[in-house]
Structures are given as structure tokens and as C-alpha cells.
Amino acid sequence: MSISKRKSDHIRICLEKKVETNKTGFDNINFKDIDLVHRALPEVNLKDIGTGCVFLGKKLNAPIIISAMTGGTDEAEKINKNIAEAAQSFGIAMGVGSQRAAIENPDLEKTYKVRSVAPDIFLVANLGIIQFNEGYSINEAKKAIEMIDADALALHLNPLQEVCQPEGDTNWGNCLKKIKELCTKLDKPIIVKETGAGISREVAVELKNTGISALDISGSGGTSWSLVENYRNDNGMETFNNWGIPTAVSLIEVVNSVKIPVIASGGIRNGIDIAKALCLGADIVGMALPFLKPATKSGKEVKKLLKKLTIELKTTMFLVGAKNIDELRKKPVVITGKTKEWLESRGVDIKKFSARK
């Protein structure tokens, strides 16, 4: 099966099927373990609240990146440009889907290019690290960046997805070495991102030591690529649909283990989730699936969702008494349930979150 056909299948399945596992720890019916503390006296004027921040040297109007979704198909060109138009309007970041399709077929480059509608956004190129075990080199990394005039390169980790694909790549030896080589040779920041199964503290430390610039934890709780691939192939791998580290757990493990910019993604679905992730230590927050359907329609629809999210975020900040993102990061967080049990069993100190004033 061609890469383009696979990309089209992914878009169709994510639009039509239930592909989320709902176990982030943030705000799910059966797994809500993270709460913020309401402040009855906010001591802040709502209209004075600001959501601006800086990520990898780039000023953003809100701590949001519309995470990598697609590319390499005709419908992807429209989706990416609609997302980019909205990202430009709101002053936030954006990532494109894996550019392997265009590396192997330059006719598909146009499906990733968005600078014509988004000249100023923080834009992230994207390749799978596994491809560097299959012949890719610094040349392909540079090509991905140059193709879309990107500000950074994301190297995605998707072992769960690959092992669930009949055509998947499963030779994952020496990936750390490959990442380190790219960090020494590339003059752009490298972000390593999971794709829905989370990053543990052990892997975070290993990745930090390669010289990367940031981590995107992409925890379990959002789109399950095991589930998506099972819809594609009826591959008998449904046992792994809920595999992974929940987003809240992964985020806390990582920020307690390494000092490096962190993107929290994986099932983040509203402004309260965004605020919770920031309180737990994320620098910015990534979302993908909620933007897919609006992006198939228009940039205007993507903007409507972004407006809703930013209003929700500001409202949450008001209700905890934070007039900016730095103040929000210092607000107390209550951690209970499975998330607390998981972290305690791993020896992670969570008392500092609730001890804040």
C-alpha cells in the first residue's frame, strides 16, 4: 500500500471512528485525577489576563501548538493550509504530519507547504526516527526542514503504531545514536515526540542526553494508533488499544526528571486541560484530533475552536487567580486516584504540586 493511501485511511478513520482511549488523567469520566484549586477571590481582572509565552525562542500569543496530523494526500493540503491560516491569526505554533511521503515523492511537497498563508508561525517539520534506521541521513532531515521553511524538526517515536501495521518498521535498535548524530549536525532545534503512548522518565533522561531541544510527551488518552491501525487492517492487535502511559503521568514523570522544554499532548481537549498541563510543568500544550474535522471545512472553523479554547483557558486562569502563564504555573494542583497511585509507585514526589499557595 502506498504511503499516500495510508495517510488517506488515517484521515478517514480519525474522522469517522472512535479512536480515543480517554485515560489522560485530566478530565475523563473514569480517570479524572487532576484538579485545580478554585480561588473565590481571584484578585485579578479578567480583561487583564494574558496568555502569551515563549517557546524555543519564539513568542506565542497562547501556549498552544496544533500538533502534527497529516500530509502527503490531496485532502491534506487543504487541512494543513486551513490550520496554518488559523495558527497565523492566533499567533500559535503548528506541526505538519510525517514528511516521508514527500521525501519519497516530491510531487507531494505542496501538501505540506503552508508559509504562503502563515509566514510568521513557529512551524515544525516532521520525520519518523525509524526512517533513519532505514537509510535516511542528515540530508533528509535538512530536506524536511527546507521543504516547509520550518523553525524546528520533530522526530516522532511511534513503535506502537509500527508494530500494529502489517507494513510497519520494527527495527528500533540504535535510535538514540541516530538522534544524537542529528543533534550534532543539524542547525535547527530538534523536538522528539511520541505519538500517543507517552514518554517515561527513563526515556526522557536518555533523550535529554542526546542534545535535543524539547520533548513532546504525547501521552495515552487521545488518539490510539493501535486502534486506528486495527480499523485499517483488522490486525488482531486490539489488545494494545489502551497501551501506554497516561498523559498526566507522563508529563509529571518527565518534568520531574529533566530540565528541558516540554510539550504536553495526548487527549488535551479543552482550556481547563490546557491550564492543568501548564500547572504540571508543560511549556506549551499540543492538540491534534479536535482540529481535524474543523480543518476539513475551513480556516474559519479552526479559528472558532481556537477562540473557544483561549476563552476557556483565560477563564480557568481567572478562577485560579493567575494573570499570566508564569503565575498559572505556580498555582496548586490536586493529584488523586490512579495518577497518584502510579506516580507514588514510581517514587515520584507529587507533594510540591499541592503545597503551592
The pLDDT score that the predictor gives to residue 27 is 65
> What's the CA gap between 12 and 206, in Å, rounded?
36
> What's the CA gap between 169 and 133, in Å, rounded?
9
How long is the chain?
357
- Tell me the backbone φ, ψ of residue 65, rounded to 5 degrees: -120, 130
pTM: 0.96
Boundaries of every domain in the chain? 3-354
CATH number for domain 3-354, candidates 3.20.20.70, 3.40.1640.10, 2.120.10.30, 3.40.50.300: 3.20.20.70
Angle CA(101)–CA(107)–CA(112) in degrees, nearest 5? 60
The pLDDT score that the predictor gives to residue 1 is 54
Averages of pLDDT over runs of 10 residues in the chain (357 residues) are 76 84 68 90 98 98 96 95 98 97 96 98 98 96 98 97 89 96 97 97 98 97 85 81 94 97 96 97 97 97 98 98 98 94 95 86
The pLDDT score that the predictor gives to residue 238 is 84
Strand partners, 53: 60
The pLDDT score that the predictor gives to residue 28 is 52
Strand partners, 246: 220
C-alpha 311, offset from chain centre? 21
Contact (CB, 8 A) for 295 and 87: no
Residue 259 CB-density burial (10 A; 0-12 exposed, 13-18 middle, 19+ buried): exposed
The pLDDT score that the predictor gives to residue 180 is 98
Strand partners, 59: 54
